[in-house]
Structure 1
Amino acid sequence: MIRTLLAALLLVGSSVACAAAPEPYETRAEHDPDGIGKFYLGREIAHVMGPGGVPWLERQQRESEERPQLTIAALEIKPGQTIADLGAGSGYYSFRIAPLVGERGSVLAIDVEPRMLRIISERAQRGGINNITTVLSTPSDPNLEPNSIDLLFMVDVYHELEYPFEVMTKVREALKPGGRVALIEYRAEDPAVMIKPVHKMTERQIVKELTAAGFKHQKTIRTLPLQHLVLFQK
C-alpha cells in the first residue's frame, strides 16, 4: 500500500514538473517561406539578416522612415552607462549611442555574424571611437558578463532569435539591478507597415514572450512611425 502510494506521488510530481517546464519550441512542416519553421509561443521565428542586408540597414531613407532619433531619445541613455546593442548589424545604432554614454561609458555591439562585427570595428578604428566594443554571440548566448549592463536594446532583431527564451534568460542575468531591455519591432497590428509578416510582431506577443523570460513590462512608447518600442525591467 505504501509503495503504491509512493509511486503515485512520484508520478504526480513528475507530471507537475513537466507541466511547469513545457517544451517552448515546436517545428511545423507548413510555414512562411521567410521563417525557419520553428515556432515559439505561437510565433514563427524569422530568418536572420546577414551581411547582405547592410545596404538595407544603412539606407538613406531610414532616417525619415523610422525616425531613429525618437528611439534613441526614448531610451533615456545617460553618460557613463554600459549599453548593449544586441544584433548590432552594421552598427547603425551603436555609433549614434556612443557619444551619449561618453568616455566613461561603453557600447557593446553584439552579433552572431563575425563579418558584421568586422565592419563595426573597422569603422570605429577609422573614426577614432574608443567606447564601442564588439562581442561575438552565439544563437543561444549573447556572451555578456552577469550584472554588467544598464540597458540592452534590439532594433528589429528579437523576432530573428533562434533561441529567444535562452537568449533572454542570459540577458536577464547580464542586467544590473534595475536594468532595462528595449525591444523595437515593426508593428504587426498595422497593415500599412509594409514589412514581411514574420518580420513584424504585435505588442501583445512581445509582452507575452518577455514575461515568459522573467521580465516586467514597464511601458510602451508609441511615438515611432512604424515600430513598437517596448520597455521591460529585470
Structure 2
Amino acid sequence: MMICRHFIALLFVGALFGACAQSPQTQTSATQSTDSLYTFGNPTSADGTGKFYFGRDIAQVMGHLGAGWLERSEREKEERTDLLIDALALKQDDVVADIGAGSGYFTFRMSPLVPQGKVLAVDIQPEMLQMIEEKEQKQQIKNIETVLGTIEDPKLPKGSVDWVLLVDAYHEFSHPYEMMLAIAESLSPTGKVALVEYRAEDPSVPIKPRHKMTEAQAVKEMEAVGLELVENKDLLPQQHLMIFQRE
C-alpha cells in the first residue's frame, strides 16, 4: 500500500510540467533547436515516457484532479516538510519561486516567512493556480503571486529570485534543459535552487523507479545549465535536498 500511495503522490505533485511530454503537438519551433539534447525510444518502465535526457527516462505525470493528496494531513510527518522549509533559512525580504506550486502546500507555508518579500507560485495548470488564488483571497494574503508557466518556461523575472523550490517535480519536466536554463537565468547573484527528489540510491524508498533520482544524475543535469551542487542536506526521510547555485 505504501508503494501505491507514494506513487500517487508523485504523479500528482506540484508542477506537472511534463504533462504534455508525449504529445508531438506540444513541440514548438523554440524547442526544435534543443531537441538534439534528447533521445527517444521505448520507455524503460511503465512510468517512463521514452524521452531521455542524459540517459534518464523522463517520468510520466498526471494532473490537477489529485490536488487533495498534496494537502493530506499526514504529509508533514511522512516527508518532514517542516524540516525542508526550515533548511532554506528564508530571509524576510526573499523572493521565492515555488515551481510546480500545485495547490500551494509549500507556497502558503513559505509566505509568512518572507513578509517583506514574496512567493511566486508557478504552475502550468490554471486549475491549480485558481485554488491558490481563492485561498489567498480568503486568507487576505498579499505576498503571493501566481504565475502561469509553460512546459519550457516558468515565466520568472530574470536575475531577481533568491530561492527556487522544486519538490518532486523536476523529474517529470518534459523539457528539463529549457526549464532549468530559464530558472538559472532567474536567480539573483546569490540565488539558490533547492531540488528535492526521492533517493534512487536507496532501494528501500518505495517509489516507482522513474520518480526517483540519484545525486549523480541531478548534478549532471544541473551542470548542463551552469548550476553546481553546493550541498546535499541529509535531513529528509526519503528525499534528497540538493542545493545548487550558479557556477
Amino acid corresponding to residue 118 of structure 2 in structure 1: S
Matching residue within 115, 120, 127 for 2:132:
120
Equivalent runs, 1:130-141 vs 2, <5 Å: 130-141=142-153
Amino acid corresponding to residue 73 of structure 2 in structure 1: Q
Q: Quick check: 2:96–2:120 contact (8 Å CA) kept in 1? A: yes
* Aligned-residue offset at 1:58: 1.3
Amino acid corresponding to residue 109 of structure 1 in structure 2: A
CA distance in structure 2 between the aligned counterparts of 1:30 and 1:123, rounded to whole angstroms = 39
Q: Answer yes or no: is 1:178 the counterpart of 2:216.
A: no
Tell me, which stretches of 5 or more residues in structure 1 are unaligned?
1-20
Equivalent runs, 1:17-32 vs 2, <5 Å: 23-32=36-45
TM-score by length of 1: 0.88
Q: Answer yes or no: is 1:91 the counterpart of 2:104.
A: yes
User: How many residues matched?
Assistant: 213
Q: Quick check: 2:171–2:211 contact (8 Å CA) kept in 1? A: yes
User: Identity rate of aligned residues, in percent?
Assistant: 51
Q: Secondary structure at the match of 1:126?
A: helix
Q: Secondary structure at the match of 2:105?
A: coil
Q: Answer yes or no: is 1:168 the counterpart of 2:180.
A: yes
Amino acid corresponding to residue 98 of structure 2 in structure 1: D
CA distance in structure 2 between the aligned counterparts of 1:119 and 1:196, rounded to whole angstroms = 28
Q: Secondary structure at the match of 2:73?
A: coil
Match of 1:6 in 2: none
Deviations 1:78-122 (A, max 9, x none): 1011000001111100000000001x2100000011111111111
Equivalent runs, 1:30-109 vs 2, <5 Å: 30-102=43-115, 104-109=116-121
TM-score by length of 2: 0.83
Match of 1:210 in 2: 222
Q: Using CA pairs below 8 Å that are at least 6 residues apart, which structure has the higher relative contact order?
A: 2
Deviations 1:61-84 (A, max 9, x none): 211110101100111111011000
* Aligned-residue offset at 1:188: 1.0
Tell me, which stretches of 5 or more residues in structure 2 are unaligned?
1-33
Q: Secondary structure at the match of 1:23?
A: helix
Kindly report the root-mean-square deviation, in angstroms, between the aligned alpha carbons of the 2 structures. Answer: 1.3
Amino acid corresponding to residue 234 of structure 2 in structure 1: R
Change (3 A) 1:30 1:149: closer
* Aligned-residue offset at 1:30: 4.0
Deviations 1:149-175 (A, max 9, x none): 011110001101111111111111111
